[in-house]
Amino acid sequence: MSDNTSKEQNSIPTSKVERSAKFVKTGFKIGGNYIKHYSKKLFNPDLDRSELNEDNATDIYKSLSELKGSALKVAQMLSMDKNLLPQAYVDKFTQSQYNAPPLSGPLIVQTFKKYFGKTPDQIYDKFNIRSTNAASIGQVHQAELNGKKLAVKIQYPGVGDSISSDLKLVKPFAFRMLGMSEKELDVYMKEVEERLLEETDYELEVRRSIEFSIACKVLADVVFPGYYPDLSSKRIITMDWLEGVHLKEYLAGNPSQESRNRIGQALWDFYNYQQHELRAVHADPHPGNFLITPDGKLGVIDFGCIKVMPDDFYYPFFALTSSNLFDDKEATIRAFRKLEMILPNDTPQQIEFYHSMYKQMISLFAKPYLTDTFDFSNKTFFDDLFGFGEKVSKMPEFKQARGVKHFIYVNRTNFGLYNILHELSACIKTNTYKPHLNQH
């Protein structure tokens, strides 16, 4: 892990007034960017929106990264939702997965005093006040205790308390960037808020990390750090330091196909084991949450975001991706109704339309599940998948909210997984953990 040498931040705006002032200022900047764009367009009618998107993305990212927390987390989520945003936003927001500006030393010491009544030096034998990496909700420091190397994750002040108000402030930006309907955006924001509230509760994260790492012990090539509940609190987590590199650095080292397949297989098994055996899944598959260890295993270093899948979602959803349900049109439509992809007052024409569109979409998405092995370097598969998503996102029929809220994180998880496997160009066995479809 490389030292984070970007500019340190000495304070974070924590009050509602300070935070909303920051958004208002950003709003003005964006307004200015639009004026600049349209005045240029007067002289050059063919001007596209790429410079405008670039300027807006820069301004929004700058303000979100200073606010940290849920605002930055939404940016991070949107960067993974490649179909939702223009490329300029995706490129900018992807940075939030690794390097937001870190907090300064005094702020860190203050956080320790608040939760432990002690400074880091009074708790650990060694504590590096410079963070090794800073993301949206917290930053990581290296420490040592009794000869053991530790990773200490510290949450930014005010992040947990400002989630609800932040999301209200993010709403107009999301509105502009996503073009969703009010109802759809509310469902999206509500689900994001629930997960974020869990994600800022570090005591919950420690409990879940221990539960999941025990439950996933059966998996080959997946490793987890040990956790220390007595050295953790609501805003601080102490765990073992895992040696390893992030995906980008791993790929830069030009690993063999065999090594990439092994990491890809570990990822596939990790996700599908959780989905089908635990019915709860690590729902934050961005590369910053994983390390590739020196002996070529997958290290999982963050269990902040877990999505539990209720039966009334799990059975109809996986019946669509993993069985021959599509052969029976009526049964397919029943599953679509259960998942609210087809709504009670849809006309016969609408039912036909959505049946046909969703069937195409899911058939594409489910391809890896339909054979025993799948090559994720297959560019055609991804072009088809994202091309179809692009086409759908432009259709007026999809502006209305459809699908139960569970789709938000389950889709994000599976598309995130597919994307990482694609980056790895991994060829893997996809028949290792199959959905359970006979409902009890």
Whether residue 336 contacts residue 355, with contact meaning beta carbons closer than 8 Å, is answered with yes
Burial of 230 from C-beta contacts in 10 A (0-12 / 13-18 / 19+) = exposed
Per-residue model confidence as pLDDT tens digits over 321-341: 776 777 889 989 998 999 998
Range 106-116 average pLDDT: 90
Q: Which two tokens stand for residue 128?
A: 């590096």
Strand partners, 148: 145
371 against 100, higher pLDDT:
371
In sequence order, what E strands does 90-159 have?
A: 126-127, 133-134, 138-145, 148-155
Per-residue model confidence as pLDDT tens digits over 407-420: 777 877 888 899 89
- How does DSSP assign 175-224, residue by residue? HHHH---HHHHHHHHHHHHHHHHHHT-HHHHHHHHHHHHHHGGGSTTEE-
Burial of 369 from C-beta contacts in 10 A (0-12 / 13-18 / 19+) = middle
Per-residue model confidence as pLDDT tens digits over 41-95: 566 666 565 665 666 566 665 655 555 555 555 655 554 444 444 454 445 444 4
The span from the CA of 107 to the CA of 134, in Å, is 14
The span from the CA of 159 to the CA of 112, in Å, is 16
Angle made by CA atoms 143, 213, 267, in degrees to the nearest 5: 100
The span from the CA of 205 to the CA of 58, in Å, is 32
Q: Where do the structural domains in the chain lie, given as residue ranges?
A: 16-102+159-198, 245-440
